[in-house]
Amino acid sequence: MDWGLQNRLARIIKPATGRTVMLAVDHGYFLGPTSKLENPRATIEPIVEYADALMPTRGVLRTSVDPKTQTPIVLRVSGGTSIIGPSLADESITTTFEEAIRLNVTAVALSIFVGTDYEHNTLMNLADLVNEGETYGIPVLAVTAVGKELGKRDARFLSLSCRIAAELGAHFVKTYYCEEFEKVVEGCPVPVVIAGGPKLDTMNDVFPLTYEAINRGAVGVDMGRNIWQSEHPVAAIQAVRAIVHEKATVAKALELFNDLKATRN
Ligand code: R5P
């Protein structure tokens, strides 16, 4: 791996712990004004300082993120579909590398849809991005998307998707947590982060998910709704950080969350 690429990756996956807490705010690219992300700036501003990386589209980056931010940007560069359209899997690359460089991003991200009619197209999107990423020293995050079929989130399917992403050259992979998650990690020779998925009922559900994912080999999270749809997002992201970076137990994270929400938000 070239120096620039290693250096950018190390800005996201922190060398001190080998871990990362990424904050996903790209949902609007196919969901529109998602609940609690209707005003992206208002959602992002209070929590971005606690994230090791922020994952927006270029539209939200330009309109809703302070250019003075010190948080590295992982730019979502695939899209072109909507939740009411015929297929979420029919994505193209929306943003050029020239644009990504102009925006001073630290990495780019796209979704791949293995097992769909658009498998080949989205995998070739990944291969093309990796070719360009290697040229410019910009890492590529492959998101193993499942579209509307949330039932696909099992170790067999996610191992297949993650491994294919790594084989095509993705520098890190984002997937879902599942039973036997360690098998997904074992079969994937690049770092794996997990999405949070749809909002869970309480932090009593989110912290065990985070803890188990880390315990079974994830290098971190790229979490969205379970942080900013929380009633206490600043407390939520700090408690997730404690699990990811400080090996906090679920009980410790809950204690921290309760303390922080009582004092700050
Ligand atoms: C989905 O395709 C988006 O890329 C989200 O960034 C991703 O699902 C992570 O967000 P959440 O934790 O809300 O699932």
Asked if pLDDT for residue 62 goes beyond 70, the answer is yes
Asked if pLDDT for residue 123 goes beyond 60, the answer is yes
Q: What is the identity of the amino acid at 193?
A: V
DSSP state of 144: E
Q: The domain spanning residue 114 has which CATH number?
A: 3.20.20.70
104 by Cβ neighbours in 10 Å (0-12 / 13-18 / 19+) ranks as: exposed
Q: Can you give the pLDDT at residue 149?
A: 79
Q: Give residue 89's domain range.
A: 3-263
Mutate to test the pocket of ligand 1, among 20, 23, 26 (most ligand atoms within 8 A of CB): 26
Asked if pLDDT for residue 265 goes beyond 60, the answer is no
64 by Cβ neighbours in 10 Å (0-12 / 13-18 / 19+) ranks as: middle
CB 74 within 8 A of CB 22: yes
pLDDT band at 56 (very low <50, low <70, confident <90, very high): very high
Reported as a single tens digit per residue, the pLDDT across 15-47 is 999 999 999 999 999 999 999 999 999 999 999
Reported as a single tens digit per residue, the pLDDT across 171-210 is 999 999 999 999 999 999 999 999 998 999 889 899 999 9
CB-defined site of ligand 1, < 6 Å:
24, 26-27, 55, 111, 143, 145, 195-197, 222-226
d(C-alpha 231, C-alpha 150), whole Å: 25
Reported as a single tens digit per residue, the pLDDT across 230-243 is 999 999 999 999 99
- Counted domains in the chain: 1
Q: Which residues are catalytic?
A: 174
Q: Can you give the pLDDT at residue 89?
A: 96
CB 123 within 8 A of CB 92: no
pLDDT band at 263 (very low <50, low <70, confident <90, very high): confident
Q: What DSSP assignment string belongs to 70-89?
A: -S-BEEE-EE---TTSS-TT
State both tokens at 219.
């290098």
Residue with the nearest Cα to atom 9 of ligand 1? 195
Asked if pLDDT for residue 264 goes beyond 70, the answer is no
CA 225, 229, 235 angle in degrees (round to 5)? 100
For ligand 1, what atom is nearest to the CA of residue 109? 4
